[in-house]
């Protein structure tokens, strides 16, 4: 039996060193998925204190809580960014400078997330309270993680922003690339199955339902397409209903438009348009026919 195991071990070792795979056995050469997951949870607890673990503190003790969590986040972030920089260095930036720049953006991030919370609560008659939205709505969690990851994306940090949004994707079913640009008062209703691509631009006061794809028309160009505008632009006050698919970097949905369910769009739409499918036939017959 030992010969059997030895044979497999030798083959695995050979693949580690000769087949182009990355050997991460020392745990130091790439960011840790576990550490990034914990970092993301800590960030959410700082952004929304009391909603990600039990917290009963007086106002006097809140400062101590914030300081403790902030230091833990900073230490973990710097550690993981150092690994990211080993993988993909950034000129004139260090893990420390990136960590400090990131933390300085947290108050601003909380302010824009407050607009997302308001849009969700006011836009959904089923929501009973802001507290319910925070505790039970996957859209808010996905948006919050996206907005945090987007800060690191703008700093050109490799790996970690995508790891954060994929953590949220696994939990919520909502896939928002950290490179997307999304304005304030963003409302995701239900959310399952939403995909928002890297070069997508979304304005203010946009509402998106479940099953919506904001994607690229084609990826046949492969790596040659990197850096190009591949995903649509959604202007202010647009509503996109379930199952709609909007593709292409040149596709612009004009402000104030409504995109109906299951619509497939690959061309621009002028402002204040209503886009629906026509001539869909629904047949109802008895089981005996």
Q: Pick the residue with more confidence: 147 or 218? A: 147
Q: How far lies 201's CA from each of 20, 78, 145, 198, 224, in Å? A: 35, 29, 17, 9, 21
Last residue of a domain, one of 122, 141, 173: 173
CB 243 within 8 A of CB 213: no
Residue 182 lies in a domain: no
Last residue of a domain, one of 143, 173, 203: 173
Structure tokens at 263: 């619509």
Tally of domains within the chain: 2
pLDDT tops 70 at residue 22: no
Residue 235 belongs to domain spanning: 193-277
Q: pLDDT tens across 173-197, in order?
A: 999 999 999 999 999 999 999 999 9
- For 174, residues 6+ apart whose C-beta sits below 8 A from its C-beta are 138, 139, 142, 168, 188, 191, 192, 193, 194
Q: How many Å apart are CA 170 and CA 274, to the nearest integer? A: 33
Q: pLDDT tens across 245-266, in order?
A: 999 999 999 999 999 999 999 9
CATH number at residue 235: 2.160.10.10
Indicate if 25 and 166 belong to the same structural domain.
yes
Indicate if 117 and 253 belong to the same structural domain.
no
Q: What is the pLDDT of residue 23?
A: 55
pTM over 0.75: yes
What's the mean pLDDT when you consider all of the chain?
90
Over residues 21-50, the mean pLDDT reads: 81
Residue 187 lies in a domain: no
């Amino acid at each position: 039996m030992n010969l059997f195991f030895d044979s497999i071990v030798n083959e695995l070792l050979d693949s580690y060193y000769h087949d182009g795979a990355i050997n991460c056995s020392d745990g130091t050469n790439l960011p840790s998925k576990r550490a990034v997951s914990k970092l993301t949870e800590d960030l959410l607890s700082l952004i929304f204190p009391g909603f990600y673990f039990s917290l009963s503190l007086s106002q006097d003790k809140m400062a101590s809580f914030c300081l403790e969590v902030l230091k833990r986040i900073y230490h973990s972030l710097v550690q993981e960014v150092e690994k990211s920089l080993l993988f993909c260095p950034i000129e004139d930036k260090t893990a420390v400078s990136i960590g400090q720049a990131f933390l300085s953006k947290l108050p601003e991030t909380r302010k824009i997330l407050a607009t997302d919370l308001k849009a969700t609560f006011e836009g959904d008659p089923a929501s009973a309270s802001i507290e319910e939205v925070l505790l039970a709505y996957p859209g808010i969690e996905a948006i919050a993680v996206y907005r945090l990851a987007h800060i690191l994306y703008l700093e050109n940090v490799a790996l970690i922003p995508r790891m954060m949004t994929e953590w949220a994707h696994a939990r919520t079913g909502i896939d928002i690339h950290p490179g997307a640009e999304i304005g304030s008062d963003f409302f995701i209703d239900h959310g399952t199955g939403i995909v928002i691509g890297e070069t997508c631009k979304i304005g203010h006061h946009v509402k998106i339902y479940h099953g919506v794809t904001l994607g690229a028309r084609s990826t046949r160009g492969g790596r040659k397409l990197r850096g190009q505008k591949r995903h649509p632009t959604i202007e202010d006050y647009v509503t996109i209903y379930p199952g709609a698919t909007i593709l292409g970097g040149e596709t612009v949905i004009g402000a104030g438009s409504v995109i109906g369910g299951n619509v497939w769009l690959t061309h621009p739409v002028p402002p204040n348009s209503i886009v629906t499918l026509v001539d869909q036939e629904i047949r109802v017959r008895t089981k005996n026919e």
